Chain A
Amino acid sequence: MALVRVISSDGAAFLVSQRLAKRSGKLKTEIETFRKSSDNSEAQPEIRIVTIRAEILRLVLQWLQQHQNDPVLPANQNEQDGRGDAEMGQSQWDRDFLAPMDLGIVMELILAANHLEVKGLLDITCKLVESKITGRTVDEIRTAFKLKSDFKGNEEEQTRLENRWCVEN
Chain B
Amino acid sequence: MNGSTNGGTATYSPEQVFPMEVWGEIFRYLLPRDLESCSNATPEWRELLAPKNASFMIPLAFPTLASHLTLKDLLNCRLVCRNWRNGVDNFFQTHPVHYADVADHERNHIHCPYGFRQFRPVDLLKMESFLEENDENPRYNPFTMTRTVVYREGERQAITLDADPVENQILRVRAAFKRFLTMCGSEMWHCWMIFTDEDTTQEDIYMLTQSYLELMPNLKTLTIGVLGENFYRINLTQQSMSPQLMRLVQSHPLPVLKDLVKLNVDSVPTILEIEMLTKHSHLKKLFWKSNTNHSIQDQETPDEEREMKQLEVLRICPFTRGNMAKLNLPSLSFNLRVLDLYVQNEDLGSVFRSVSRFRQSLRYFNLQFCGDIPEEFSENLDLPLVETVKINAQFSKVRNIDFLLTCPSLKMLELATSSSVVRQRDVVLPWVSLKKVEMKYHVSPSLSKWSDRTNTSVTVNSETIIQFDGWENCMYSSNIWELLPKLEVLKVFIRSDIVEDHDESVSDMHIWWVFMTTDFQRFIYTKKQQEVFLEEERPNEDSVDSVD
Is B54 in contact with A145, judged by CB distance below 8 angstroms? Answer: yes
> Closest CB-CB distance, B56 to chain A, in whole Å?
9
Q: Which residues of chain B come closer than 8 Å to A145, judged between CB atoms?
A: 54-55, 58, 80
Is A107 in contact with B40, judged by CB distance below 8 angstroms? Answer: no
Number of A-B contacts (CB under 8 A): 131
Is A156 in contact with B64, judged by CB distance below 8 angstroms? Answer: no
Q: Which residues of chain B come closer than 8 Å to A137, judged between CB atoms?
A: 76
Asked if A164 lies at the interface with its beta carbon under 8 angstroms from chain B, I say yes
Binds B, one of A27-35, A65-73, A92-100, A126-134: A126-134
- How far apart sit A43 and B67, CA to CA, in the bound complex (Å)? 41
Asked if B142 lies at the interface with its beta carbon under 8 angstroms from chain A, I say yes
> Closest CB-CB distance, B498 to chain A, in whole Å?
39
- How far apart sit A81 and B136, CA to CA, in the bound complex (Å)? 37
Q: Which residues of chain B come closer than 8 Å to A150, judged between CB atoms?
A: 81-83
Asked if A19 lies at the interface with its beta carbon under 8 angstroms from chain B, I say no
- How far apart sit A141 and B77, CA to CA, in the bound complex (Å)? 8
Chain A binding surface SS class: helix
Name A126's contact: one of B57, B68, B84, B130 (CB within 8 Å): B68
Q: Which residues of chain B come closer than 8 Å to A114, judged between CB atoms?
A: 64
Name B127's contact: one of A9, A136, A151, A168 (CB within 8 Å): A168
Interface residues of B in 270-286 (CB under 8 A from A): none
- How far apart sit A146 and B80, CA to CA, in the bound complex (Å)? 11
Is A108 in contact with B53, judged by CB distance below 8 angstroms? Answer: yes
Interface residues of A in 111-132 (CB under 8 A from B): 111, 114, 122, 126-127, 129-130
Asked if A161 lies at the interface with its beta carbon under 8 angstroms from chain B, I say yes
- How far apart sit A53 and B126, CA to CA, in the bound complex (Å)? 50
Interface residues of A in 24-69 (CB under 8 A from B): 50-51, 53
Size bin of chain A's contact surface: 35 or more
Interface residues of B in 126-160 (CB under 8 A from A): 126-127, 130, 136-138, 140-144
Q: Which residues of chain A come closer than 8 Å to B70, judged between CB atoms?
A: 134
- How far apart sit A161 and B142, CA to CA, in the bound complex (Å)? 11
Q: Which residues of chain B come closer than 8 Å to A9, judged between CB atoms?
A: 40
Asked if B397 lies at the interface with its beta carbon under 8 angstroms from chain A, I say no
Asked if B31 lies at the interface with its beta carbon under 8 angstroms from chain A, I say no
Asked if B43 lies at the interface with its beta carbon under 8 angstroms from chain A, I say yes
B140's nearest neighbour on chain A, judged by CB, is A162
Is A133 in contact with B77, judged by CB distance below 8 angstroms? Answer: yes
Q: A151-B82, A162-B142, A164-B130 are in contact. List 7 more A-B contacts (CB 8 A).
A: A104-B53, A107-B57, A134-B73, A141-B76, A149-B81, A155-B82, A159-B78
- Please list the residues of chain A having a beta carbon within 8 angstroms of any beta carbon in chain B: 9-10, 50-51, 53, 81-83, 102-105, 107-108, 110-111, 114, 122, 126-127, 129-130, 133-138, 141-142, 145-151, 155-156, 158-169
